[in-house]
Amino acid sequence: MWLFTRYGFYSISIYDGKFTVRARLTKHLLALQHRFPVLSKYQVEVMPEKDYRYRLYVDRDVWENVVRELTREQTWGNFKSEVARFGGRDEYERTLHEVWEVMHRLQWEEEHGKEKTRNNPPLERRS
């Protein structure tokens, strides 16, 4: 599962019975640990040979509580704006706009067909 939060982007999987919280940037895992101190007992592992280089291996009950709290703290109506407000306009915030555009294109293609997208790619951004 992919999880985009105001703290960063994570790819979540299960390995050897633990939730593997993977990230592209160490600062995203460190921000998550800062927000949820219980995660500090898990060391950030660096695996240069892997697709997601930075990882935490977290017990199920701990991860379930983190995700529950992430849900509780959501009060904003526009995610990209919240990321910019919370973390500033940085590369992560800009990348979220690119993700938005890719997913919007997927919707557009379903509605209008792929050929039309190549000729008239959707550029309009809405909240």
What is the predicted pLDDT for the residue at 114?
74
Tell me the C-alpha distance between 81 and 21, whole Å. 24
What is the predicted pLDDT for the residue at 113?
80
Tokens of 79: 């995610």
What is the predicted pLDDT for the residue at 127?
46
What is the predicted pLDDT for the residue at 125?
54
What is the predicted pLDDT for the residue at 55?
97
Tell me the C-alpha distance between 30 and 32, whole Å. 5
What is the predicted pLDDT for the residue at 87?
80
Q: State which residues of the chain have pLDDT below 70.
A: 115-127
Domain ranges of the chain: 2-73, 79-119
Residue 61, phi then psi, degrees to nearest 5: -65, -35
The predicted-structure confidence for 28-63, as pLDDT tens digits, reads as follows 999 999 999 999 999 999 999 999 999 999 999 999
